[in-house]
Structure 1
Amino acid sequence: MGALLTVVVPVYAVEGFLLACLDSIRAGLSPQENADVEVIAVDDASPDRCGALLDTYAERHGGLRVLHLPSNVGLGPARNAGLAEATGRYVWFVDSDDRLPPGSVRAVLDRLRRSEPDVLLVDHLREHEDGRLETDASSPLLAGPPSLDRLLGVQHTAWNRIVRRGLLLENQLRFPAGWYEDVPFSNPVLIAADRIDVLNRVCYHYRIGRPGAITATRSSRHFEAFDQYDALHHWLDRVGAAPAVRSRVFTLMINHLMVVAGNDSRMHPSCRRPFFRRIAELYRRHLPAGHRMPPGAAGMKHRLVAMNSYPLYAALRAGYRLAGLRSRSTQRPPAVSRSIPSMPQPVQTTSLR
């Protein structure tokens, strides 16, 4: 029998984090568990020593297949290259600057054997540059019986979902080129799945704020998110997604793009107005019939987008930022705490169609 799980690790300019990532994948596995795991690292023409580190690691440790791409293709196509070589029944895309806490792969293997889902969602912690660990705002959505409406709100990344490889092949789901490559992939795998399971256990540490990371880089390339969301909606059209699903995805899309628009680490002030206008265009282009705006502050932002009113949005944003600064200046610094991974929960696989 072949591997149960293929871990695909795209590699580019992460020399200082790569070995820790690779070590974390197989840490503590028994010989049988090792046999159930295939690891494929894809050197995306990395400009540093990553390619040599991968070759040395494969020679010394074994159990690692290394693909060296002749030229840099970007994160999405690099993942696709690893997927094309995968033989495991399931695929887990792990970014090479992140790491898996001890016991993660064992817990994932156990749950995959027990529930045999199309997609297994896992929890994660956000790891800051100083080592501080933080629970993600979407993590509470993993609690309770699986519900597609709720799980669509979980952070939409490739690395927090382990996917049956056959599901990707059957639905021709691949990563596009460009930034925000997770957008046309992460929600479609949930929508296409018949059986989704949740392992409500921290199985991933996501590094944030790393210099060079997309989420910490000011660039006009953040505008590529609009093409990725157009691709997502074309997919929804092609599969005839239910109105409730389309409305949920639409709301999440606007929420996400508004976060990008307001993020100083990503958006130069000179780009914020044209980015907002592009959100308004996307809003009009993909507004579902019968869509209801969310309540509260999110709904207010949606209304401003629907009106294409950047001056009001800018005033609202300035007010929120001023209120936040005043609040932080009057509060004592919070104590730093580390979240403890929860124990595996009972199998909660359900049919979501």
Structure 2
Amino acid sequence: MPRFSIVVPVHNVQGYLRVCLESVLDQSYGDFEVIVVNDCSPDGSSAIIDEFAARDERVVPVHLPVNGGIGPARNHGAKLARGEYLLFLDSDDSYTPGTLRAIAERIDATSRPDIVLFDYARTHWHGPVRRNRDAAVFEAPGPEVFTVAERPDLLDLFTVVWNKAYRLDFFREGGFTFPTGFYEDAVVVYQTLWTARTITLVDRICVYYRQRRQGNAMRTPSREHFEVFAQYERLFRFIAERPELERWRGFLYDHMADHYLFILRQQDRVPPSARPEFHRRAARDLRTYRPSGHRLGADIPRVSFTLLARTPYALYGLHRAAAVLRAGLRRRYRVWRRRLRRVLLATHRRLVLRRALDPNLAVYSAFSHRGVLGDPAAIHRKAREIAPHIRGVWVVGKEYVDTLPPDVEHVLPGSRAYRKVTARAKYLVNNVNWANDLVKREGAVHIHTHQGTPLKSMGADLLKYPGARRGFSVPKMLHRADRWDYSLVANPHSELVWDRAYPCDFVSLRSGSPRNDCLVRPEPGRRESVRQRLDVGDDRTLILYAPTNRDHRQGGYAPTCDLERLAAGLPGDHVLAVRLHPSLAQRHERGLELRDLARRGVLLDVTDEPSVEDLMLASDALVTDYSALMFDYAHLDRPIVLHTYDRDTYLAGRGTYFDVTERPPGHVAYDEGELARLFASGAWRDEESARLREAFRERFGGYDDGRASERVVRLVMLGEDLAAVSPTVPAPGVPSGQLARS
């Protein structure tokens, strides 16, 4: 008996069916059968099903003689199921890698619950992938196993069956079957959730829910939408036959009312000629099924409900027409409001720009206003220490304000206060270009810190790599870079690259990277403090895995390795900490496997740790690919391992200034197997690793001597002689203590 039976109904999906079935058959957990039910599909799906069945004995082909719809097709597959758990997967959707293993492990950890509920992400035909907007439900604290009475918020989730695994005995003993017609999922979803004795959650994106450009029957005007009345009749009858479910009658009534209103609001559901009839039937249900003394839920629009339940369709139609008119007027109002706001902003900017610069005001920003971070943060700290007369103000996005230290002054980007301080500041410090509308005033000093030593192509060099500059204008970027007065340089390599990548009129300041000061001269106790916060004892080895993003992939993410396998292959006293690229922190990739593995204690998800410097100090080794972190990490003289599985693709898509695999900072793994063997054997920290690291440090150590931030403050803000603060680290082939005009 297989662990899982996966039922896939098929009808007119020949363009997507292969992807769907391959996503199942390629799962790392192989104890399953996939029952593919051909619902008399007129396209080429039948041949594809037979092809997969011949290729893999786990595929059970079923060819129905007549088309009965998705509900009966699922029922047919469920009757043939032999697995311990029953899953349903639509044939234009797909599983993410590792899905079945994650579900199986959750089942084992929670003693075979009746229902396992997992998350999904919508994949749009034009590229974007977005996690379920209710993903927070899966992250919410609570018992490992529960009933829906303990977690009623589950009833508000998208009513589909393909994000659930049902214990087959529970499903069959309950006699659950799918009705015919539209909205069939809701019947089974509610019936099973109401009656399940044990439910558990998997905080992981397991299904890619395809959003097709065309061919979605639910968005095609037809009388099929009248099936919704029969589905709710079945659900109310189900409650009536089970007195213990009476508590859910009010919920179901509110959900029905909201559902009917939603269908009538949409222009792509009920044909215009059939709307009066739909209105009459909806009104009848709202009167018939309303529980005695029931008060509508707060989310139900009262006026719309009253007009639907108690008035003729003509009056409801006028209400909807008025709503459409109001929406149009609101859109026009928003357009005029934006235009007026632009005029007022331009006027305010002109007035502010007439005021004198404040010689004791510095404005800082880092990583597109994400907080007090990186090189700007190091300069700010040093300025407060040795130039306390200079007031420092940070530009921080609203969502990051809570992360600020209590004594840091800040403004929100684009606000009136932002325009005021950026117009009057003598010093503007950033590791990302300032916005296009920021005016560079005469006498203002712009300090651009960059974000480490460059390996991948930057600036004007991106013109050779069109895929890497998708949605990015190099001329506009160079126009913003024209405002720089100083470009901070960490080593001779960086200076040469910045000169070519940013052909602008700035001064290259051989200062070193301010953010590396804490790595070259660590503060006593900082490493121990971070490890304590991460709950990693001194007797354990912490491996930091920090891959960079991929420009050639939609959204910048590419699966780099099997994180669970990597963590499992480490010695027992080793801990794997994973930090995704900051650009991916709020994207769906966090939910593919990382959050689930972190919740299960397989690894640490440190993506949200604000300071990557803290993580580098706390860790004992770094695993990365093409990230600039390797140059910073080398200062710690700790092992570095490169995982460059897609070297040729990355070089072709983004390009690098040199092939880091030829003279790497440590061992190089070109595939997942090599990476696992390096850590299993202990070779990742052998003498060869130390030799490679030492050569790398000599090549790129440059000007980092632990005084970079002091050097910037003394030279630029205090006007001191550069010779007094020149780097003490010799730069091979380049005289130290010099300024170079770009």
Q: Can you list the C-alpha shifts for 1:112-143, whole angstroms capped at 9, x where unaligned?
A: 22212111111111222213223334443334
Q: Which one-letter code corresponds to 1:179 in the other structure? A: F
Kept in 1, the 8 Å contact 2:254–2:297? The answer is yes
> Residue type of the partner of 1:131?
G
Paired letter, 1:339: H
Name which of structure 1's ranges 267-276 and 57-66 shifts more when overlaid on structure 2: 267-276
The reply to whether residue 339 of structure 1 matches residue 556 of structure 2 is: no
Q: 1:47 aligns with which of 30, 42, 48?
A: 42
Which structure has the larger Rg over C-alpha atoms?
A: 2
Q: Which amino acid aligns with 2:170?
A: L
Give per-residue Cα distances to partners, 1:247-286, cap 9 Å, x unaligned: 1122112212222221222233333333233221111111
Divergent runs of 4+, >4 A: 323-331, 335-338
Match for residue 260 of structure 1 among 246, 263, 281: 263
Which of residues 92, 108, 116 is equivalent to 1:113? 108
Corresponding residue number in structure 1 for 2:196? 193
Aligned to 1:310: 316
**1:189-247 Cα deviation digits (max 9, x unpaired):** 10010011111211111122442322221111111111111111111111224443111
Task: Output the CA distance in 1 between the equivalents of 2:58 and 2:335.
Answer: 52
1:1-353 to 2 correspondences below 5 Å: 2-29=1-28, 33-34=29-30, 36-115=31-110, 116-144=112-140, 145=142, 147-295=150-298, 298-308=301-311, 310-311=316-317, 313-315=319-321, 317-319=323-325, 321-322=327-328, 325-326=331-332, 338-342=587-591, 343-344=595-596, 346=599
**Distance in 2 of aligned mates of 1:327 and 1:25:** 50
**1:351 — aligned with what?**
none
Residue 249 to residue 203, structure 1, CA distance change in 2 (3 Å) = same
> 2:184 aligns to what SS in structure 1?
coil
Deviates more, 1:208-217 or 1:170-179: 208-217
Q: In 1, are the aligned partners of 2:155 and 2:190 still within 8 Å (CA)?
A: yes
Q: Distance in 1 between matches of 2:334 and 2:45?
A: 41
- 1:329 Cα deviation (Å)? 5.5
SS in 2 for 1:127: strand
Q: Which residue identity does 2:185 align to in structure 1?
A: D
Aligned residues: 340
Give the distance between the partners of 2:78 and 2:334, measured in 1 at CA: 45
Change (3 A) 1:171 1:326: farther
Question: Share of identical aligned residues, percent?
Answer: 32
Question: Does the C-alpha gap of structure 1 residues 325 and 204 become closer, same or farther in structure 2, counting only changes over 3 Å?
Answer: farther
In the alignment, is the contact (CA less than 8 A) between 1:43 and 1:51 conserved in 2?
yes
Q: Is contact 2:124–2:212 with CA below 8 Å preserved after alignment?
A: yes
The superposition leaves residues 20-39 of structure 1 with CA deviations (integer Å, 9 ceiling, x where unpaired) of 0001113241xxx31x2111
Q: Is the 2:194–2:245 Cα contact (8 Å) retained in structure 1?
A: no
Query: Which amino acid in structure 2 is aligned with residue 294 of structure 1?
Result: G
Alpha-carbon shift at residue 310 of structure 1 (Å) = 1.4
Return the offset for 1:43: 0.6
For 2:192 and 2:202, the matched residues in 1 are separated by 17
Q: Which shifted more, 301-310 or 192-201?
A: 301-310
> Structure 1 residues 166 and 28 mapped into 2: Cα distance closer, same or farther (>3 Å)?
closer
Taking structure 1 as reference, are residues 203 and 79 closer, same or farther at Cα in structure 2, changes over 3 Å only? Answer: same
1:167 positional shift:
1.4
Note if contact 1:148-1:191 (Cα within 8 Å) is conserved in structure 2: no
How far residue 56 of structure 1 moved from its aligned partner, in angstroms, is 0.7
> How big is the shift at 1:187?
0.7
Higher relative contact order (CA 8 A, sep 6+): 1
Distance 1:327 1:206 in 2: 36
Shift of 1:49: 0.8
Maintained 8 Å contact 2:39/2:66: yes
1:331-350 Cα offsets, whole Å, 9 max, x none, are 8xxx9965224221758xxx
Quote the RMSD (CA, aligned, Å).
Answer: 2.5
Say whether the 8 Å CA contact 1:209–1:216 is kept in structure 2. no
Q: 1:79 and 1:210, CA in 2 relative to 1: closer, same or farther beyond 3 A?
A: farther
- Alignment CA distance shift 1:301-1:161 (3 Å): farther
Q: Look up the SS of the partner of 2:175 in the other structure.
A: coil
Counterpart residue identity of residue 35, structure 2: I
Using the alignment, how far apart are the partners of 1:182 and 1:10 within structure 2? 13
* Contact 1:18 1:96 (8 Å CA) reproduced: yes
* TM-score normalised by the chain length of structure 1: 0.88
* Structure 1 residue 320 displacement after superposition: 5.7
